[in-house]
């Protein structure tokens, strides 16, 4: 079959790319910044913005090739075939992985995934990590963790060859960012004040709305065309988010007597994260189950496991993204059905097949251990060289003034 440019697919992917950019800036930036002390609002926003800039540059210098280039080292990484994206735009080729859209469009769409993955990690370390340390962490983590994992799952690497599936990033995005967040906070230690003090929950409401909106590009865009799979992915994404929100509100009511706005936002994000790996493979019934179960498990991870173990994941990157990435990836092995997507050959447990679930579990373990271990190593090295944590007095006073000599609000 000869590859032919499809203008409808191209238009949809252009829109989807813009939607995913919206998720990082301003979506993640607003969501995170509303949840912390007012003295750190600009620093928290800045982490997302500068992450997007760094990844945008490195992606076209070498990132795209390493993630989606031809297999080398037994499928561990892609070959650096077109550094600086040389010749790709000039030749106007169609993507071999999405043959109805230009290669450049596929590449920039995937760039947005890399950017938001690293930006998500920042929610764990807000209010105490040096900005200079973050600037060093971003390119190193992108290169050592994200690019290999993206190749393993999406670039034809060894986990893809094993049969593991990840429609839009439950493993590549949410599991890696969650495990990285856990590793960083284990090295950084707890804040001087661990209380969650949302200084402006309205920012977080707007940020969550932008994330929910942008997630349609994230998940439905991962169909890589404007067709039935994109439609079903959009529907189950919205359904899981809504169910996740309602489930978290229920848990708030049962455990504290009152539903909370912060809980509703957390539940929506949990439902969105959990459906991400499964969005193109499951139906509405499965989406309802995934959103409900993910929100409940995530609720207990945040409200019980984190206090029990004592780690300071400030904005619950591991508790929501990491946990829900695992839940959603397991759900693929249970609920995926061939009728939803031809990529699903035998289906999950619901069709009587055990092989897909086995592949999913292997991928979760391999990626989870790799992301945790490599992030611990990166953090340890950076801590020795430049130090990860700000001075105690700077942390207490706030990072906006001490790291940037700026303030998000008028000083009285």
Domain coordinates of the chain in residue numbers?
Answer: 7-78+87-404
**pLDDT tens, 113-124?**
999 999 999 999
Burial class (CB in 10 A: 0-12, 13-18, 19+), 257: exposed
**pLDDT tens, 307-339?**
999 999 999 999 999 999 999 999 999 999 999
pLDDT at 412: 54
Confidence of residue 231 (pLDDT cuts 50, 70, 90): very high
DSSP string, 344-355: -SS--GGGT--H
Q: What is the C-alpha separation between 10 and 340, in angstroms, rounded?
A: 22
Residue with tokens 């611990």: 376
Is it the case that residue 23 has pLDDT exceeding 70? Answer: yes
User: How many CB atoms sit inside 10 A of residue 307's CB?
Assistant: 10
**pLDDT tens, 256-277?**
999 999 999 999 999 999 999 9
Q: What is the C-alpha separation between 271 and 155, in angstroms, rounded?
A: 26
Residue with tokens 């957390």: 266
Beta strands in 186-338 (DSSP E): none
Confidence of residue 193 (pLDDT cuts 50, 70, 90): confident
Q: b vs e for 43-70, b when ≥16 Cβ sit within 10 Å of the residue's Cβ?
A: bbbbbbbbbbebbbebbbebbbbbbbbe
The one-character DSSP state at 86 is T
Element (H, E) at 71: strand 71-72
The one-character DSSP state at 93 is P
pLDDT at 153: 98
Query: What Cα–Cα distance (Å) separates residue 319 from each residue in 89, 124, 141, 147, 166?
Result: 40, 10, 20, 23, 20
Is it the case that residue 90 has pLDDT exceeding 60? Answer: yes
Is it the case that residue 1 has pLDDT exceeding 80? Answer: no
Count of all residues that appear for the chain in the document: 412
Choose the CATH number for 7-78+87-404 among 2.30.40.10, 1.10.3430.10, 3.50.50.60, 3.30.70.60.
Answer: 1.10.3430.10
- Give yes or no for a contact between 408 and 38, defined as CB atoms under 8 angstroms apart: yes
Strand 71-72 relative to strand 77-78, pairing: antiparallel
């Amino acid at each position: 079959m000869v590859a032919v440019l499809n203008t409808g697919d191209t238009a949809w992917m252009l829109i989807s790319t813009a939607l995913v950019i919206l998720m990082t800036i301003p979506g993640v930036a607003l969501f995170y910044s509303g949840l912390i002390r007012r003295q750190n609002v600009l620093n928290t926003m800045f982490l997302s913005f500068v992450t997007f800039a760094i990844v945008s540059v490195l992606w076209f210098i070498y990132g795209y090739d390493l993630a989606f280039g031809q297999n080398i080292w037994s499928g561990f990484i892609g070959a650096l075939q077109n550094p600086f994206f040389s010749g790709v735009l000039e030749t106007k080729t169609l993507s071999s992985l999405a043959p109805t859209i230009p290669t450049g469009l596929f590449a920039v769409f995937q760039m947005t995934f890399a950017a938001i993955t690293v930006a998500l990690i920042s929610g764990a370390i807000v209010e105490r990590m040096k900005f200079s340390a973050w600037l060093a962490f971003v390119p190193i983590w992108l290169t050592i963790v994200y690019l290999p994992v993206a190749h393993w799952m999406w670039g034809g690497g060894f986990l893809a060859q094993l049969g593991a599936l990840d429609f839009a990033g439950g493993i590549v995005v949410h599991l890696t960012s969650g495990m990285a967040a856990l590793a960083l906070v284990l090295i950084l230690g707890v804040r001087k004040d661990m209380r969650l003090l949302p200084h402006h929950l309205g920012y977080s409401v707007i940020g969550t709305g932008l994330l929910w909106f942008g997630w349609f590009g994230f998940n439905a865009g991962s169909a890589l065309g404007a067709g039935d799979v994109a439609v079903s992915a959009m529907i189950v994404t919205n359904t899981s988010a809504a169910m996740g929100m309602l489930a978290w509100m229920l848990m708030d009511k049962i455990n504290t007597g009152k539903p909370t706005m912060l809980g509703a936002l957390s539940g929506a994000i949990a439902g969105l994260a959990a459906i991400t790996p499964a969005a193109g493979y499951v139906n509405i019934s499965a989406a309802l189950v995934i959103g409900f179960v993910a929100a409940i498990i995530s609720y207990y991870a945040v409200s019980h496991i984190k206090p029990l173990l004592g780690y300071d994941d400030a904005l619950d990157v591991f508790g929501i993204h990491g946990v829900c990435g695992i839940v959603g990836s397991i759900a693929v092995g249970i609920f995926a059905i061939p009728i939803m997507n031809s990529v699903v050959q035998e289906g999950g447990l619901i069709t009587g097949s055990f092989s897909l679930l086995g592949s999913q579990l292997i991928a979760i373990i391999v990626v989870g251990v790799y992301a945790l271990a490599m992030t611990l190593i990166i953090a340890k090295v950076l801590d020795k060289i430049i130090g990860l944590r700000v001075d105690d007095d700077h942390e207490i006073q706030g990072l906006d003034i001490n790291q940037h000599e700026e303030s998000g609000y008028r000083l009285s």
